[in-house]
Structure formats: C-alpha cells, structure tokens
A and B are shown apart, each in its own frame.
Chain A
Amino acid sequence: MNIINEHISFGDRRLVGQEKAKHQIERILLSDRLAHSYLITGPDGSGKTAFSLALAEVVNGVNHLTDLKDLTISKKSSWFTHPDIHVFIPLPSTVGSDELQSRLELLAKDPYEIVDFTLRPALNDAESSKNRRAFYPIDYYHNEIRPKSVYKPNEGRRTVIVLTNVDTMRKETANAFLKLLEEPSGNILFILTASQPDQLLPTIISRCQQIRLHPLSKYEVAEGLINHDGVDKNDAELLARLSGGNYSTCRFLDIETLQQIRNESVEFLRFSYTQDVPELLNLINNWNKNLNKENQIALCNTLEQLLRDITVYRETENESLITNIDQLDVIKKFCTSMTEARLEEMIDNIQQLKGLLYQNVQFKYIGTALSLRFTRLMRGLDPAIDSESSWKHLPALIN
C-alpha cells in the first residue's frame, strides 16, 4: 500500500521551506515504514504545526496541503473534516471546547495561522493582552484526547492524533499520556510538536522519532510571503529580513506601521544629534500617547536593530548582513558622518531603559533620557549625566 510515490512532493501546496525535513518525511513514506509517533521540533514560526497537519493528511490520503494526484484515497477536503485526524492545542483551564473549535477552524483555513492562546488571547480582538496560559490539563487529556485513541480508524489508514506544543504539558499529564504512547494500538499515529524539546520528559522523547525543523532562511520566508500571502516583492524581502526566521508571525506585521515606526526611529536619532528639542519632544510625546506598552517595547527593539545594523555595517561594510535594507542610505550616512559614535554603549543604554518600561516608567521620561545620552554618545563623548546618577535626569530632584 503506497502512501506516496516519487512524483509526489510532500506539502507542496503550502509548506514553506524545510526541504531537508520534507525529504526525510518522503523517505519514510516511500519506504512504508511509518513509526507510531513523531516529534517535530523547531523554533517558533518554523512551521511545525503546518508540517504535522500535512503529514496527518498524507497518511490518510487527503488531497489538500499536498498534491496527492492519483494516490488520493479520501474524499475529504482537508484534515479538519477527516474523522480520523484529531488536532489538539494547549488549552487554558477556563476555556471550553467551543473556543477550541473556532481556533481549529482558523487553522483549517491556513495551517500557519496563529491560534495559540498565549500569543493570541482573543481571536477577534487584536488589542487584547489578557494573560492566558495554555497547557494540557489532565482533564483535557482524559476527556478529549484519550477517548480518540481507543477506536480503529473510521475510513483512513491510521487514527492520527496531533498534539501541538507538547512542551507545555505538565508532568502529571505527560505521565498519563506516556501510558498511551508506550503501548499504542497498531493503527494509531501520534504527531507531537515542541519548540523546546528539552522541557519534555526524556521518556516521551525516547518513544518518538524526531524530525527537526530549522529556522527559515530569509529567502524561504520571502518566497512564502510572495507565493502564499500575496505580499509585494519588496515588502516581502523586508519582512523576511525582520522575521528572524519566524514565518507565521511576520505575516501579521503591518508593513505601513512598521515602516512608520522605523522612519520615526531614524528621526529620533537625527533630532537627538541635532538637539532639536521641540521636534524631539513632539515625537516622544506622540509615542507616549499613541503606543501601548507592547508597542513601546517594539519601538525600542526597532531602534536597537537599527543601531545594530549601523554597527555591523561600520565594521564589515557588507550590505547582505543588514536587516533594515531600505534604510541603507541612512546607515551609510551615519557611518561616514559619525565615526566617533559609541554604538555599543548606545545599545546598552536602550536595553537598560527598556527594563524600566516593564517597571511602568512612563515612556516620555525614558525617551528624553535616551535622547540626552545619545546626543553625547553619537559625538563620542561621555553622557552628561552618567548612568550611576541617572536620577539627575529628573530636574525636580536637583535643587
């Protein structure tokens, strides 16, 4: 019974990159030696879930993420409606299965969709930052997961159980699950995904075949963005450089806001250098007013990344290492005009002040202090107020 043949390329309709892992799967399927459990590991956004869904479909002959040609054996349009494919994601203890359902529906539309409760606490409200820690409670395992493993497949080759992010599984659940994993019936296939396999019980790891996914290269991310998300080529290349190999989140970056923030951080450096106080205050006050805390942190990161680019360019003059490729002119100009700038200290300063944001210090104070220090550091001088006596930034405290 052939699951695939040489003409079929695994996940060709949707999977982004991961050629090596794809070939590994193809070899397994061609040799007809499917194990009973696979553990797919890799960093966030590398496509572990999409990969497992594609595998689940191929095993049961669903022609959806993979073009199965004449080896299609199922009439179902995707894994979502297949009665033998069961997909589970970690669940906050307060959530019922209705909400799980709507998330799986999203995942059915696009396997790279972010459905994690931790990353996306509410589906309809992008601003929601409710803390919802999701894991596998033991009741969830007993009531939902284990019953699915009892029966033989209804119409497919195997009953496939996909558990994403098993690294969130607590010890009790993991031990209960281990009983199932140790003595599976012949017709079951477990596909587990984990971004931090070191958090798993060694007994679980030892019972799975591991498939490692790598961070996606910027070319792979760009290709995915162009082919599947209809992103314009230039934007795609920029997003890919910013993504750090995380395809699923970079699809949600709003390129316009991103562009604006980056332009503003260049302005910030410029105003800091020229000591244009009115403009600077204007900019910082705007940031203070319009951005929420997460966005302010993101802004600090953007600034840090820009400085990192400048550092790298100054040392290497290698354009291919630059993340903010569209700001190349600014970077070049900075390097030629400010040869003295103490960039590493500037980055240190940002990191230090970013810590204060978590302690609920208002951004306008942080921004002002930062610009004051940058003014001096960009000229290669010591800051007027050294970090030992940072309280002097608040004039009210000095008589």
Chain B
Amino acid sequence: MKFNVSSNDLNQGLSAVIGAVPTKATLPILETILFESEDGRLKLTATDLEISIIEYIDADIEEEGSVAIPAKRLQETLRQLPNIPVFFEVDEDQNVEFKTDKGKYKLVGEEADEFPEIPNMDGGTNLSTDTKLLQNAIGKTMFAVSTDDLRPAMMGVYFDIGENETKFVATDGHRLVKYVNQNFTSETPLSFIVPDKALSLISKALDDDSTDLIVSDDHAQFKSGSTIVITRLINEQYPNYESVIPRDNDKNLLIDKNQMLATVRRVSVFSSSTTRQIRLQLKNDKITIRAEDLDMSSEAKETISCEYSFDEMEIGFNAKYLGDVLSNVDGDEAKFEFSTPNRAGIVKPAEEEEGEQMLMLVMPVMLNSYA
C-alpha cells in the first residue's frame, strides 16, 4: 500500500476516529487504526467493539491496500509535524514507513484481516435528520443516563421515533428526562437504546448539517459528512417510563431558574452529605428552601419569591438531582408541577420552541418532619 497525504488532513482524520480507540484494551488490535484505500480516498476505522468510527480523508493513493497502524504512536508523531505532505509505504510484512521531506519514520503495523469486522448495516431502516437537532437532543438528555450496570436498559438514551414525533428519554430511576421533537419523524416507527458513551462521541464527531441514520436490530449508524459512527444498541426492554409521570398536577409554580438554582446550590452545602436532602416549602408566592445536617448541627434556609397560588405544601428532594434538572432548563423561567409530596415533581421550561417539548421529573424524598 502506498499513498500521499497531507499531515493536516490525516491529523484531522485521526482525531475524529481516535475517540473510539479504547484507553485500556484487552485486545491489542483495538489500539490500532485501520487504513484502507477506497475509491481513491483513504478510509480510517477505529473501534472498541461497541462503537466504531469511520472517517474518509482525501489522499493520493498510489497503490491499493490496507493495514492497521498503532494509533497513539502515529498520532503523537503527526501532531508534531507542520502541514506538509507525508508519503506512506507499507510492505508485505506490514512494516509501515512514512516519509516527509526531512524525516523518515518506521513502525510495525498489523494485518488488516486481524482488525475486527465492522458491522454490516445493509437492510436497516434509513432515516435522515438535522445534525443540530440530534446534538441538541443528546445534550438535553444525556445527564440523566444511569451508570448502574445492574439495569443495563437505563444506561443509554431511549430513541422512540414515531410517525408524528420523536421522543428521547433518559432516566436513572431518580430523575427522568423526556424530550419530544416533532421535526424528526419516520414512516415506520422504531425505538432503540443508544449507550451513553456512543452518544457523546456522536455529538462530537458529526460535522455536517444533516445526519443519515441507519438502524438495524443490533446497531445504529450515524453518518454525517465524511464521518460514520456505528454503535451497538442496548438489547433490552426500556422501562415503562410513562407510568411514573404523574398526570393530575394541580399545583403550578413559576420561578426564575437561575435564582432557584443558585439557592439550591447554596443551601445544599448545609444538607446531610449522605442524603443531600433539601426541603421546599411552598406558600403564597414564596418558596422557602431549607436544609439541615443533624450530624454537623448546621442548617440553612433561604426564601425567594415565585408565582404560586395554591395550597401550602412541603416536599423534599435530593439537591444534586434537583440542581441537575434545573441547570438543564432552557430559558430563564422554570415551571414546576406538583400534586402531593409523595409524588414526583415535574420541571419544564416556561417557554418552548415550536415543535419541541421538554419534560423533566425528579423523584421526591420522604420527609420525616423535624421542623
């Protein structure tokens, strides 16, 4: 295999795929990047068996072929090069030699056949969408993904693509995010769970305005511009999340999001470090947020104004979860919906863009009244 490539192009290609190279691989071949010539272009592939990233870059191919080259070493060398052409030559024993006008570098590659096969996506369902929309949806939901590997279904974001709207759902059992977008639809409804590591790579790697999706039974492929990301899906039944969202919420509260977030963060410092419990006392147009740590004999209380005109109520939350949810509210005002202190609280942005609906839910904690 012989090819000429500019070091900048190659560097960009490498940094696009290197996210999939595992830091600690049990399979040494995974620490390499597969170089293949395809239709006069250079195809770079990296995989950790869960996520594969493929990137096409322009190169002047002199002789067709393929080889797997150690990723870290190659990238470290290339990063130090200015933007100059690099000439690569690979012999039959997979010895890789690359030359610039001044230098000559040699390293040993691996046979391309030893590289794991990249899943074949033929026969999957094809969809197309706006990259921004996808990145937005991922950014809004990913914080709530569970890390508990005893319930693998919740370790990813649930994509429920329907005929009229698409729901993106993430939950870890303590909080839940449901983001609905009506601008992304499919003629054949389909639903799947994408692992969170793949999502962060996807939102980083996609660089074109539109993204093509192919979904098969086990894998999903995201293609945008010259980059393709293929991820395994989590083959589990997603929990019935609709049933935990309370329906009849008669108490509404409207509040300045930033003010409340700051208050929650301040007060939570004084909460018990094990439970992180804070309590919200709702009164007429006033909300009092308090925390108490009996072990440290410390307590905090702050009262801020809000729009609230229903019965008085007291409800407890975990400060971390409430803070996470609040910081993900778009706009300046957040809308809370409550029913009773033992049912989940719902948080929504006060204003939403056309065709988008965001719903976040935080489970309450039981209060034993100490006041």
Contact = CB atoms under 8 A, between A and B. Distances in A.
Interface stretch (A48-56, A128-136, A149-157, A224-232): A149-157
A155 B117 contact: yes
A83 interface: yes
A155 B116 contact: yes
Contact of A151 (B24, B26, B49): B49
Interface in A138-164: 144, 146-147, 150-152, 154-155
A151 B27 contact: no
A152 B235 contact: yes
Interface in B20-41: 24, 26-29
A175 interface: no
Contacts, number: 36
A75 B113 contact: yes
Contacts of A101: 26, 28
A97 B26 contact: yes
Interface string A92-121: 000001000100010000000000000000
B116 A150 contact: no
Contact of B27 (A75, A77, A81, A152): A81
Interface in A143-198: 144, 146-147, 150-152, 154-155
Interface in B165-210: none
Contacts of B119: 154
B235 A76 contact: no
A218 interface: no
A86 interface: yes
B50 interface: yes
Interface in B108-146: 111, 113-114, 116-117, 119
A76 B24 contact: no
A152 B117 CA distance: 13
B324 interface: no
Interface string B47-68: 0011000000000000000000
A76 B114 contact: yes
B116 A154 contact: yes
B354 to A, nearest CB: 40
A76 B26 contact: no
B26 A77 contact: no
B218 interface: yes
17 contacts: A75-B113, A81-B27, A81-B28, A81-B29, A83-B27, A83-B49, A86-B26, A97-B24, A97-B26, A101-B26, A150-B152, A151-B49, A151-B50, A151-B232, A152-B232, A152-B235, A154-B116
Given A146-B149, A152-B218, A154-B49, 14 more contacts: A77-B113, A77-B114, A81-B27, A81-B28, A81-B29, A81-B114, A83-B49, A97-B24, A105-B28, A147-B149, A151-B49, A151-B50, A154-B117, A155-B117
